[in-house]
């Protein structure tokens, strides 16, 4: 904002004769947008348009808004993108090339194909108001987006929503449609947007829950692509869908998938805990403990260790809800199991390499494939023998 005020002082202060420090946010941004529009008219008048003439003021604004929102990694892509502008739908390639080159000359895209009208909030303000005032253009820019274009648009509008109220509605409209593809695109947008995640998170979480046809591989890939420190509710939704898939697989083939289901339930409990859903977190962890108790009946050391981990998690969940006696009992059970394991195999269960936590992602599933969950920062796990997926502890 200080940058914007300073620009007004330099660019418009002498013309308007006003003190920009006394201007509101809307006045500051509108002044900078007005300055850009004047500059477009000047540069367009001096541009070589070949056999044509300079585009009208309205077409100039639509062309700039289109490329700011959807971006383009090349002049060829820019030409194709500009055909979304109603007035340019039937334009010749020469005409499109000239307009694309004119915009690129002013706002050269970065390595991701994103155009920047700086300060960015000025570009976000301009594009948002343009689309709100021109529903036909908004529709044309929203239809039939590629994954990359959807990611650029959602990232742009998510950032814009921090300062421009009307961007919320535009974000929701651009996030509708093919749910799975939009979720993947929003995941890409989240990687580049430090702001606007308050919009991305609930939209992605809802879309993940509502879309059918997810596979474990798709969910695992999405989980890996989104940083674990952001979009916490989205991570909950991913874990919840993974649990649902594994619950179905375990019902038809318990031997192959029960352990994987228990791992995923533990992870779901941990993620629910992170977003403050303590009751739901307890339910998921209790289900994991129930499965681990059944598996531990085999007396295999690895299954006993899984049960100890799950009980440790259960103690944490119970403590969160103020059930201190029950939490103590669960933790004591975990300690008792670990003492028994340590007494029977000191080398494996006391100190040494086994005390270091191992990452969850990439550990083979017994049912085939890889464990879909990456390790969660701030969560400690007990050591375990190589090749065994583990549940999350606190």
Higher pLDDT, 212 or 99: 99
Q: Is 90 exceeded by the pLDDT of residue 115?
A: yes
Give how far Cα 274 sits from Cα of 42, 231, 311, Å: 54, 11, 18
> What string of DSSP letters covers 147-216?
HHHHHHHHHHHHHHTTT-TTHHHHHHHHT-SSHHHHHHHHHHHHHH-SS-HHHHHHHHHHHHHH-----H
Residue 161 contacts residue 168 (beta carbons within 8 Å)? yes
CB neighbours of residue 378 within 10 Å: 10
Predicted pLDDT of residue 181: 62
User: Which of 61-70, 214-223, 268-277, 308-317 is least confident?
Assistant: 214-223
- Give CA–CA dist 216/333, Å, rounded: 33
Q: Is 70 exceeded by the pLDDT of residue 120?
A: yes
Instruction: Please write the tens of the pLDDT for every residue from 324-361.
Output: 999 999 999 999 999 988 887 654 545 433 333 333 33
Predicted pLDDT of residue 345: 64
What average pLDDT does this structure show over 60-78? 95
Give the residue from 12, 35, 51, 157 showing the smallest Cα distance to 106: 35
CB neighbours of residue 365 within 10 Å: 18
Predicted pLDDT of residue 242: 96
By CB neighbour count within 10 A (0-12 exposed, 13-18 middle, 19+ buried), where does 111 fall? exposed
- Give CA–CA dist 391/118, Å, rounded: 47
The conformational region for residue 318 under phi > 0 = left, psi -120 to 50 = alpha, else beta, is alpha
The full set of domains in the chain, from first to last, is: 228-394 (1.25.40.10)
Instruction: Please write the tens of the pLDDT for every residue from 17-66.
Output: 455 455 577 888 888 999 999 999 999 999 999 888 999 999 999 999 99
Q: Give the rounded percent of residues in the chain with a pLDDT score beyond 90.
A: 48
pLDDT band at 186 (very low <50, low <70, confident <90, very high): low
């Amino acid at each position: 904002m200080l940058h914007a005020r300073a620009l007004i002082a330099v660019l418009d202060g002498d013309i308007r004769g006003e003190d920009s420090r006394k201007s509101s946010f809307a006045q500051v941004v509108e002044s900078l947008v007005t300055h850009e529009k004047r500059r477009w008219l000047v540069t367009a008048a001096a541009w070589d348009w070949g056999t044509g003439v300079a585009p009208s003021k309205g077409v100039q604004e639509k062309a700039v808004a289109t490329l700011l929102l959807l971006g383009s990694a090349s002049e060829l892509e820019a030409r194709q993108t500009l055909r979304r502008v109603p007035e340019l739908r039937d334009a010749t390639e020469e005409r499109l090339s000239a307009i694309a080159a004119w915009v690129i000359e002013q706002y050269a895209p970065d390595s991701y194909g994103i155009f920047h009208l700086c300060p960015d909030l000025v570009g976000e303000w301009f594009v948002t108001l343009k689309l709100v005032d021109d529903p036909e253009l908004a529709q044309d820019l929203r239809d039939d987006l590629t994954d990359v274009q959807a990611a650029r648009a959602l990232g742009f509008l998510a950032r814009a929503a921090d300062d421009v109220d009307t961007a919320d509605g535009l974000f929701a409209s651009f996030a509708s449609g093919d749910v799975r593809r939009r979720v993947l695109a929003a995941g890409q947008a989240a990687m580049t947007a430090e702001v606007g995640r308050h919009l991305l998170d609930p939209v992605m979480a809802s879309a993940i829950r509502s879309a059918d046809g997810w596979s474990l591989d798709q969910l695992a890939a999405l989980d890996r692509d989104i940083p674990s420190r952001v979009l916490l509710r989205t991570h909950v939704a991913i874990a919840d869908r993974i649990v649902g898939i594994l619950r179905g697989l375990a019902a038809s083939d318990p031997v192959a998938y029960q352990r994987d289901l228990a791992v995923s339930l533990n992870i779901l409990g941990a993620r629910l805990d992170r977003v403050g859903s303590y009751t739901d977190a307890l339910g998921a962890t209790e289900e994991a403990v129930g499965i681990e108790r059944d598996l531990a009946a085999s007396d295999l050391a690895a299954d006993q260790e899984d049960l100890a981990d799950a009980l440790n998690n259960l103690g944490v969940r119970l403590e969160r809800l103020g059930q201190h006696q029950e939490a103590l009992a669960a933790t004591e059970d975990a300690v008792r199991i670990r003492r028994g394991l340590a007494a029977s195999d000191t080398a494996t269960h006391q100190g040494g390499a086994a005390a270091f936590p191992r990452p969850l992602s990439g550990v083979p599933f017994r049912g085939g494939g890889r464990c879909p969950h990456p390790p969660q920062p701030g969560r400690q796990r007990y050591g375990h023998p190589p090749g065994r997926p583990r549940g999350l502890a606190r």
